[in-house]
A and B are shown apart, each in its own frame.
Chain A
Amino acid sequence: MKNLFNMSRFKIVFTVCVLLSLYSFVNAQAPAVTTVGITPPAPVTELTAVDTDNDHGHSITVKWTPSADDGAGANNVLGYRVMRSNSFEGPFNDTVGVVPLGSTNFENSSSIEEGAEGFIPDNTDFYYRVDALTGDSLVFSSSEVTGPVHSYGQWFNKGLIPVFFAVIIFTALTVLFVSAARKGKELYVRPLAGIEAVDDAIGRATEMGRPILYVFGLGVASDIATIASFTILSRVAKRVAEYQTNLIVPCYDPIIMTVAQDIVKTAYMDAGRPNDYKEDAVFFITQAQFAYVGAVNGIMIRELPATNIYMGKFYAESLMLAETGVVSGSIQIAGTDEIAQIPFFVVACDYTLIGEELFAASAYLGREPLLLGSLKAQDYAKAAVLVLALLGILAVNFSGDLGLTWLVNFKDWFKVID
């Protein structure tokens, strides 16, 4: 009897042990593991993966609705882990990104170079899964798998549509006014003191027997300000050739030096004085900013030019050049598109071309109808920008009050996503 009781107790204990083992075994297979104090969070929902728009390919954007325990509910989500696989069944061993809590999307992208780290080949199917993470790395919840999705490049960036239309309209305006100018229509442009002073400044240098110093600044040949400066140099060089004044053009960039040499040489040939051209008038100094400034300042102090013309891209050295020019007693005309340097030139120079006046200078100096026509197009484009800016102010501030519901989305029409 005693043995029988013992046998029964043994069976009970044995059965309980087996049941506990079975229970532990079953729970070990589940992706979510419960540890003391941390429960698995709710998984993310509505997981989608699409090719990233308006790019060169090799990029997939994954979006989801955050877990219910992200900032609410159990509030134990610390972040999300984005996993990738080449098949629906997995394995999902490839962690492509980890984002903080509150995130709703992740862009899985790579460079276009095939050997680059994390390279994503185009037109290859991928599957994604997002895990909601907690403070314990073993406690997380996985979402449903989404896919297949593959990346590919787009042939047109839809985010730049407003820019595209602006370019088309501006080009059309330019062609329109240039055509009008070709037909002989008189186009009025307001006088610019800085431009009108160039001829007088060259004449002053001739009378004083001192050279003219022309400085391109620190730009490179591909800068628009430098290209505008080339045009001004060609006009100045032609006048200099006609008046037989000396011209000094120290260059920061060797490509600018070669272009400037050709411009000055051609100007002397056009003026009928090819023998007066001195090759050493246009020379290279250095591509170190302050070494260049030191050299140009030295030229100013030694050569004492009567006229200094600064046209192009300038940075911190602008005031150093202009102030040294004041000390050497030169008349100074400056023009730059660098906003931060314009005040320095305004203070230290006799005449300053502010912003777009630098780009208009070529039209002013030559007075050619084609160039004046493009100036008019610029003016009308600026007027259009002004009208759009006013509409934008109304749209942002007063559209609701004025009942102009069509203005509510006005600013979105001009949104540019690059």
Chain B
Amino acid sequence: MIEFHLDARSGVAPYLQLIHQVRQALRLGVLAEGDQMPTVKDVVGRLAINPNTVLKAYRELEYEGLVAARPGIGTFVTGTLGDGSPAALRPLRQELRRWLTKARRTGLDDESIEALFVDTFRSAKPDEPEEDIA
């Protein structure tokens, strides 16, 4: 089961943070189809937030087809996002780790690495012919 957390200083609305965490968990394979979501009472009891915030997040996720409520039983994951299987992610993660090591060796600090990654990520459009994929 997923455990939510909130960053009060992020400036992002709490219900959006919850949605983001579910989507992230789906992408990383932490949550899979059929998994049960925490009950509203569990979430508010842990985070001390308004139940309507959780309901709003769950409604939105339901609308996106990612979860479904079964009355009297709970809310369950019904959708997938990307190929979130750990098997598919493992080699990519390894490659990324190697790249990070290389970047650090070049003398880049964390902030520069993040900036470089985000900048490259944004400039590389998915439909552009990729160069040197090996």
Whether chain B is bound by chain A comes out as no
- A interface residue numbers (CB < 8 A to B): none
- B interface residue numbers (CB < 8 A to A): none
